[in-house]
Structure 1
């Protein structure tokens, strides 16, 4: 069940599948019902003096005869209230704003991982050193001893090694069996490296992958994104009771504790906070946004789930005779599939918006100029380096020119 109102001035009213379920149950029993707004907008948590807040506190005080919403069963809750038979099995999930595909300045380096780039750099250095060794000390040097020096060997080895990797032609041909074996190995390696790089780069540009901010609790903690957890929820209690150093304990540093449900929902919809709560509440949030805007909100639910075997039930005062009357009706509704039917009928848009194939189609977009900024930067960087080298050569050449001397005369 969810609490809504038409406007800021209108009264609250209950909505959702639980309203229909409770109507069936209490009509069957011949009872009239009166809805009461939950204390503090929360299920309830135990205080240091053993009292409880929220709905559980209202039940213990006798202010209400039963909860109008389902809540997770826990040992501490069962010690102060009685629960009906479970209606559903709940799970806790994380929802957040789904990022769009943006231009990536460093996209040209992402076809390979950092480790591959490092190994490639090491291989390039080794290929250059081996080429220089054979070029200067090997057969080629001995066959034309007078025509080669150390500087020329360095220049030829560097230009050939780097040029081969960049698929550039070179007029130098290796001589000798050893040099040709090294050169052939580097040619094959450069061909494979270049082909795989171009293939991966094309795939990334044509069908880019969407990188989610997080998809599990470990990544959420590392991201430091503010996280909303409902007050009085069993999840929040578990976070407070988590042992030091655990992921749930570390999550305390980024918790957003908001009593106003409307404000909390806005934080989640606007992408300012992660929603960490019941899977049913997450689905309803998406369903409601689609109902209001007629478009699916750009949101995703992380694949990792928590507390997957939590039974959610109605709560009653200890010893309440209503439990024995309500349980048979809930069991028959569950066996007939009515509970699942009512639940799905109120969340039809959530299934539509969370469909994986639909989001895959939304990831496609035309390329813009920003996608090529990285490549342009490399090109301009190369031009700048070449210009600096050219200027340096002019300066060195100018400095090496012999200075003219005036002949002495009488």
Structure 2
């Protein structure tokens, strides 16, 4: 009987028929719940898989600095920024030094966004610089007409306030800024001010998840697991009620135990 139940339960998930049929009402109820859960599991998996397979794929011209250097696309750098300095001092023959051959410099972010959207060049800048620009663009056009390369050129660059040497303000502001940073208040205020730019920075707004296949992840099945957990909870309640009713009936059948 245990082996038959196992075969029936496993066969339901892989859509295989079985000659065994539940007889008792409680077993039929649990079997019906399992059939419903199995159908939902199979349908969700097939729909997610089919959506990944039929999703249109867009070929982007580059996705890293190495791929960019293999094209003839020009590069815009905000003049006077750290990345501009790194490109300037890069050793000859290096990847960053090759950017100098196709470099465009100016200090007008609105012009850079307009010409980059028109395909004149690409923008190389930090997230701190790009988020306000994307915020203004998304606020006006309600769309993100550009994409962000998945591979970063440089990371781990911080920002801060500059004070003259020996300034007494440094010792006053350092504890305040440290507390604001540790409690996440600075990041909250910054992201709140450029919330539309943050929307443009999410993966759903750009290329990789929409234009390339990816393996199914655990979060793709959270809804299925919730339904499964609800079904198991309901089945457990039914089982407990059945055991309680059966025990009550057995107790009524033995009057000597009631005194």
> Which residue pairs with 1:338 in the alignment?
185
Bigger CA radius of gyration: 1
Summarize the alignment of residues 137-152 of structure 1 with structure 2, pairs less than 5 Å apart: none
> Which residue pairs with 2:109 in the alignment?
261
Preserved contact between residue 229 and residue 236 of structure 1 (Cα < 8 Å): yes
Which runs of no fewer than 5 residues in structure 1 stay unpaired?
1-202, 364-410
**CA deviations over 1:39-85 (Å, ceiling 9, x no partner):** xxxxxxxxxxxxxxxxxxxxxxxxxxxxxxxxxxxxxxxxxxxxxxx
Number of positions where the alignment pairs a residue of Structure 1 with one of Structure 2: 160
Q: Secondary structure at the match of 1:353?
A: helix
Give yes or no for the alignment of 1:301 onto 2:148.
yes
> Which residue pairs with 2:71 in the alignment?
223
> Which residue pairs with 1:232 in the alignment?
80
> Which residue pairs with 1:281 in the alignment?
129
Residues 314 and 289 from structure 1, CA distance in 2 versus in 1: closer, same or farther, beyond 3 angstroms? same
Paired with 2:200 and 2:82, the residues of 1 have a C-alpha distance of 28
Paired with 2:80 and 2:164, the residues of 1 have a C-alpha distance of 18
Q: Secondary structure at the match of 1:257?
A: strand
Preserved contact between residue 269 and residue 297 of structure 1 (Cα < 8 Å): no
Paired with 2:205 and 2:85, the residues of 1 have a C-alpha distance of 36
Summarize the alignment of residues 119-130 of structure 1 with structure 2, pairs less than 5 Å apart: none
TM-score w.r.t. structure 1 length?
Answer: 0.36
> Which residue pairs with 1:101 in the alignment?
none
Preserved contact between residue 144 and residue 205 of structure 2 (Cα < 8 Å): no
Paired with 1:362 and 1:215, the residues of 2 have a C-alpha distance of 14
Aligned partner (choices 150, 163, 166) of residue 319 of structure 1: 166
TM-score w.r.t. structure 2 length?
Answer: 0.56
1:230 is displaced (CA, Å) by 1.1
> Which residue pairs with 2:96 in the alignment?
248
Q: Secondary structure at the match of 1:333?
A: helix
Computed over aligned residues only, the root mean square deviation of the Cα atoms, in angstroms, reads 2.5
Summarize the alignment of residues 87-106 of structure 1 with structure 2, pairs less than 5 Å apart: none
Paired with 2:116 and 2:161, the residues of 1 have a C-alpha distance of 27
Paired with 1:284 and 1:269, the residues of 2 have a C-alpha distance of 16
Preserved contact between residue 286 and residue 296 of structure 1 (Cα < 8 Å): no
Summarize the alignment of residues 7-406 of structure 1 with structure 2, pairs less than 5 Å apart: 206-293=54-141, 295-357=142-204, 359=206
**CA deviations over 1:5-51 (Å, ceiling 9, x no partner):** xxxxxxxxxxxxxxxxxxxxxxxxxxxxxxxxxxxxxxxxxxxxxxx
1:259 is displaced (CA, Å) by 3.0
**CA deviations over 1:201-258 (Å, ceiling 9, x no partner):** xx9x954311111111111111121111111112111111111111101111111011
Residues 349 and 261 from structure 1, CA distance in 2 versus in 1: closer, same or farther, beyond 3 angstroms? closer
**CA deviations over 1:105-147 (Å, ceiling 9, x no partner):** xxxxxxxxxxxxxxxxxxxxxxxxxxxxxxxxxxxxxxxxxxx
Which runs of no fewer than 5 residues in structure 2 stay unpaired?
1-50, 212-259
Which range moved further: 314-323 or 346-355? 346-355
Q: Secondary structure at the match of 2:110?
A: helix
